[in-house]
Amino acid sequence: MSQVIARADADSMPSVTTERGERAVFCGLTSIIWLHRRIQDAFFLVVGSRTCAHLLQSAAGVMIFAEPRFATAILGERDLAGMADCHEELDRVVSELLERRPDIRRLFLVGSCPSEVIKLDLANAATRLQGVHENRLRISAFSGSGIETTFTQGEDQCLASMVPDLPAAPEESQRLMVVGTIADIIEDQFRRHFAQLGITDVDFFPAARADNLPSVGPGTRVILAQPYVSDTVSALVKRGAKLISAPYPLGIEGTLAWFQAAAAEWGHSPESVQEALAIPIARAQKSLAKARESLQGRTLHFLPDSQLELPLARFLRDECGMSLIEVATPFLDQTLMAEELKRLGSEVSIVEGSDLDSALARVRASRPDLTVCGMGIANPLEAEGLRTKWSIELIFTPIQGFDQVADLAGLFARPLTRERQLEVGSWS
């Protein structure tokens, strides 16, 4: 069922249609896969069922054999005799874990779907356990339940659970906080670019080390590296931080505008930022030219999945010459997407939410050259001769910033060039 709910008053904004229905998106537990890579001394203890353990082990199979930093405390029937028993069991599992792993500096208790787990107040359990293990590490809880979260919302919940632990910043100190998980290599590049602009008071949240918590207060300027952190932003704003409105650092234009928005807070003009970053911009333009050849003029449909859809659509249309048929996103936060909506303009049709059957019917009717979607949907579409790109790959791959522009375009070009090779192969 769908309904047009908002046509932004400015004629230049996209129309937004909402859909409610079935969705096929990974649950928030999936975010542990990239969060545990980023926060290197954190441990994620999922309080869940065998299904949850299976999801994590199959999704992150390789990791489990290396140095596992996540586990599942499975609450069986026996544990459910009473809530008191559940809490005792959890305390026992945590104590054993911390004894075995003195290197853990942050423990996340991660909630899941089973009704017994939902009844268990993990936030309270985290507070209780924090009292027991006071100076050793920080403990917080968040939900990764598929009933409450999609995979990118899992990260939002995780970061929001850390906000109360951030130290208070002195009133007068103006610092920049970049929010959203990015690869270490991107952090290094961004730090270099900020330094070229003379901005050195920069924190990244989350940081690579759990103890490295940025301070927050009225002098904090927050800029987002990822668009799916609504609850984290609300929690930071409540602590006095100011959100900088910017597009996302995807593509050359997005990245430049992102740096310009941040630097404006330090009094730099857009022109001076462009000048200071001229070398990486020129390098990115050169590297993008080749990938663009395979994308130019091809049609694209986004099914709702990662919440990265709007900035990616803007990049692929404006910098790669693709033609957008539909851009769907599971949730649309108008504030966090304000700059992207402006850039997309009135010609784009945006769908918020998901009604899988009708979305697939539209894909089948328009037969786009490329459909960006979840893994579960990709196979059936491929079987029907449609080319797909898994949106979850865009979370695992470093795609932000100037130096990654060609890689980002390449992720979309690959399924199309593979198709051409197959066509050529079948003719020869």
Name the token pair of 92: 């026992």
Interaction between residue 27 and ligand SF4 (CB under 6 A): yes
Nearer to ligand SF4, 112 or 255 (CB): 112
Q: Does 25 bind ligand SF4 (CB under 6 A)?
A: no
**Residues contacting 54, CB < 8 A, separation 6+:** none
Stretch that binds ligand SF4, among 48-56, 85-93, 261-269, 327-335 (CB under 6 A): 48-56
Which of these ranges, 31-39, 51-59, 152-160, 228-236, lies near ligand SF4 under the rule CB under 6 A?
51-59
| E-state strands within 130-275 | 138-143, 175-179, 202-205, 220-224, 242-243
Choose, by CB under 6 A, the member of 16, 35, 52, 125 that binds ligand SF4: 52
Residue 74 or 338: the one with the smaller Cβ distance to ligand SF4 is 74
Shorter beta-carbon distance to ligand SF4: residue 321 or 376: 376
Residue 225 CB, shortest distance to ligand SF4, in Å, is 25
Complex with ligand SF4: residue 24 or 338, whichever CB lies closer: 24
55 binding ligand SF4? (CB under 6 A): yes
Rg (CA), the chain: 22
**By three-state DSSP, how is residue 146 classified?**
coil
* Residue 367 burial (CB count, 10 A): 14
Q: Is 145 in the site for ligand SF4 (CB under 6 A)?
A: yes
Report the relative pairing of strands 2-7 and 15-20 from DSSP bridges.
antiparallel
By CB under 6 A, tell whether 154 contacts ligand SF4.
no
Cis peptide preceding 102, ω within 30 of 0: no
Nearest distance, CB of residue 113 and ligand SF4, angstroms: 3
Work out how close the CB of 117 gets to ligand SF4 at its nearest, in angstroms, rounded to a whole number: 8
Q: Is 250 in the site for ligand SF4 (CB under 6 A)?
A: no
Q: Contact 47/111 with Cβ under 8 angstroms?
A: yes
Among 14-22, 50-58, 122-130, 244-252, which window interacts with ligand SF4 (CB under 6 A)?
Answer: 50-58
**For the window 174-213, what string marks contact with ligand SF4 as x by the rule CB under 6 A?**
----------------------------------------
Site string (351-390) toward ligand SF4, x via CB under 6 A: ----------------------------------------
* DSSP-assigned beta bridge partners for residue 328: 351
Per the listing, tokens 């990239």 go with 34
The DSSP code sequence of 41-102 is: TEEEEEEE-HHHHHHHHHHTHHHHHSS--EEEEE--GGGGG-HHHHHHHHHHHHHHHHHH-T
By CB under 6 A, name the one of 39, 60, 113, 409 that touches ligand SF4.
113
23 touches 304 (CB < 8 A): yes
> Which residues have C-beta within 8 Å of that of residue 393, sequence separation ≥ 6?
411
Binding footprint of ligand SF4 on the chain (CB under 6 A): 27, 29, 48-49, 51-52, 55, 112-113, 144-146
